[in-house]
Structure 1
Amino acid sequence: MLVESYTLQPSSEYPLFIAAKRYWTPEFERNASNPSAQTLIVLHSTSFHKESWEPALEDLFRLASQPGSKTVIREAWAIDCPNHGESANLNHRALREPGFAKFSCEQYAHAAIRFLSAGPSHGARVDFRRRNLVGIGHSLGANAILMLQNIKPIFSILIIAEPMVSATGRESLRSVRDGLVERAKKRQAFWPSQEALKRAFVNPKNSAAKWDPRVLELFAEHALYWNPELKGFSLCCTPQQEVAMYLDEEGLTNPVEALNKVCHLIPVHLILGEVPDLMFVLQEAPALLASHIFNVLSSNASLPPPRL
């Protein structure tokens, strides 16, 4: 799998960096002239980063490249939430400002829209209006992708995995949210080394011990940044920022309203786990998630791109 990094610079209207990565294989390059070829836009979950999608994308690309596959993929783009991953490191000063102290799900959606709307002269240097776009999100990313499509309809298909939404309203999610908030408050924000984090996370008592090894390696590399003041590694998404996102009330309800509208306009595929053990399919079973995404893409391979 080939990878390229891109960054959309801040402007006077929007003071944050937005980092993204493009993923593809040499085999996919022949699909560039096919207007129906699918360009995947993937958004990540709270406290993670755009690279957390890499294992699932790698497995998905392998399935799409097998003989007899009906899925025609051009490439995939993973976009950071601006207070996560590489973007958070670039934005560390701006995120201290009052306007960004409580970053929201909707702000992630707007950041993704800004990146995808930058045009051929900025950021990705791609006119995404000419692409057949498929929106894919996990957890926070699923909520954000729903809000994105409602704000600016650009996708021909949506695939939402483990969204934090409920048709019965925010009260039914309160216990889950409160548990996530408590976990975030207790999260260790500083590590003496990346190896120290990996040793702690593979401990059987740690829930991260269930993660795919590839996901753990990527987390140690991309969810931490070198902190010269502390002479160690700090989390890119601080526990305070993580808590603020869980406490985003509109982030729990607005995606449901968006889903009610969107599902009447384009195919929307919902992926949920059978066991109610929070939202970690991307971390624990990326190959399984990739197979479900592949099945969705295959079943919708003949759909024409939307008119934007």
Structure 2
Amino acid sequence: MNPTILKTLYRVDNRPAYPLQVLATRYRTQTDIAVQYDQDTERDTGSGYTLILLHATGMHKETWEVFIEHLFDYSLRRVSRSSNSTPAPSSHDIDRSGIWIEDVFSIESPNHGESAIVNEQVLKTTYEDRWSPSEYERAVHTFLTEGANACWCPGIPGISLKGNPETDMVSQMLNAWTWLRHDVWPSRKTAKMYLQADPLYGRWEPRVLDLYIKYGLREHRAAKYKQPFQFKGVTTALTKEQEAATYRSDELVVDALEAYSAATRKMPVYLIWGTENNVATPELQELLADKEAGRFPRSISYVENAGHLVVQQQPDSLAELVLSILHKGVATRNKL
């Protein structure tokens, strides 16, 4: 990660009110600290955008880091560099287009990544082979109300309607893939070699794959056993049991879709798809823009050379598209 981007880990422990600890990483740039009020930009420190990012099932909070780095690069003007030193940034280095990303919070699902290790005992004894998508929603709400002095409770986007043939086909595919996927390797090096050769993971942006190897995998649980039964390999932080449980939940395709539909009627919602329909078929995509069903996204955009996992496959292009959407939002707001 760019050394000028500062990372701060936050942990919210609201037990027993919420049984799981919630981890999030805050990202901001050195530039943010140095910026003072500038009459040309009409902007002061503390008035920029704060983005809240949530990751997909099976990922981790750091999966956004390549996207975040590109986002900061494009939201701030490049600071001129000399061969010997980097001058302190000033307000004149800020992109005068009206878009300034002050900071970004990436909140982790409690059974993914580093959080899976922190919450290991509770996950094993209380959740075992069940996991509701609403747990992530509860975790986000817990973090934002207890850790960030804000109150916001998102609806996690679903994929379709219950009983829809397209939905059933996707759910069956994801369920089968979960149980069949490789999830144990003798080392991180071996895991990387295996995943690089995999048709799915091999298409990831290399830096994103490196982040998955570092944060999406964990020491195998059998490492705690005494010899000769100890196994010092690695496995996925998210267990197969809980991943499969996510796809079985009605909340993924019923409650979330209702929440999404309501959200499009209350606030600007922008949809971004990959151009390759390897999970969400065109029919499923159309459901999320069905005006007759009360769904009114503000816009629909596409990222080339990406499928379902846009963040993992084309993080740079996605960052530029997100900034473009923010630009349009600012332009629209300034006309009102």
TM range (shorter): 0.7 to 0.9
Taking only the aligned residue pairs, the percentage that are identical comes to 30
- Aligned match of 1:72 in 84, 100, 103? 100
Contact kept? 1:105, 1:251, Cα under 8 Å: yes
Contact kept? 1:63, 1:69, Cα under 8 Å: no
The question of 1:212 aligning with 2:205 is answered: yes
Contact kept? 2:162, 2:254, Cα under 8 Å: no
Extract unaligned runs of 5+ from structure 2.
37-42, 78-94, 225-230, 280-307
Matched letter for residue 47 of structure 1: G
Distance 1:74 1:169, change over 3 A: farther
Q: 2:232 maps to which residue?
A: 231
Contact kept? 2:46, 2:102, Cα under 8 Å: no
How many angstroms does 1:61 deviate by? 1.0
Matched letter for residue 242 of structure 2: Q
Extract unaligned runs of 5+ from structure 1.
134-143, 148-162
Whole-angstrom CA distance in 2 between matches of 1:199 and 1:55: 21
Q: 2:285 maps to which residue?
A: none
How many angstroms does 1:207 deviate by? 1.4
- Aligned match of 1:280 in 296, 309, 313? 309
Matched letter for residue 61 of structure 1: F
Tell me the secondary structure at the aligned position of residue 300 of structure 1: helix
Whole-angstrom CA distance in 1 between matches of 2:271 and 2:163: 18
Distance 1:170 1:5, change over 3 A: farther
Distance 1:52 1:111, change over 3 A: same
Larger mean Cα displacement after TM superposition, 264-273 or 7-16: 7-16
The question of 1:127 aligning with 2:121 is answered: no
Tell me the alpha carbon deviations over residues 152-188 of structure 1, each in whole angstroms, 9 at most, x when there is no partner: xxxxxxxxxxx54236865421111111111110122
The question of 1:198 aligning with 2:192 is answered: yes
Matched letter for residue 6 of structure 1: Y
Larger mean Cα displacement after TM superposition, 85-94 or 270-279: 270-279
Matched letter for residue 224 of structure 1: L
Q: How many residue pairs align between the two structures?
A: 269
Whole-angstrom CA distance in 1 between matches of 2:31 and 2:270: 27
The question of 1:222 aligning with 2:215 is answered: yes
Q: 2:32 maps to which residue?
A: 28
The question of 1:45 aligning with 2:67 is answered: no
Whole-angstrom CA distance in 2 between matches of 1:226 and 1:100: 18
Provide the alpha-carbon RMSD of the alignment: 2.3
Contact kept? 1:72, 1:301, Cα under 8 Å: no
Whole-angstrom CA distance in 2 between matches of 1:192 and 1:277: 30
Distance 1:251 1:37, change over 3 A: same
Contact kept? 1:23, 1:76, Cα under 8 Å: yes
How many angstroms does 1:43 deviate by? 0.2
Tell me the secondary structure at the aligned position of residue 23 of structure 1: strand
Tell me the secondary structure at the aligned position of residue 41 of structure 1: strand
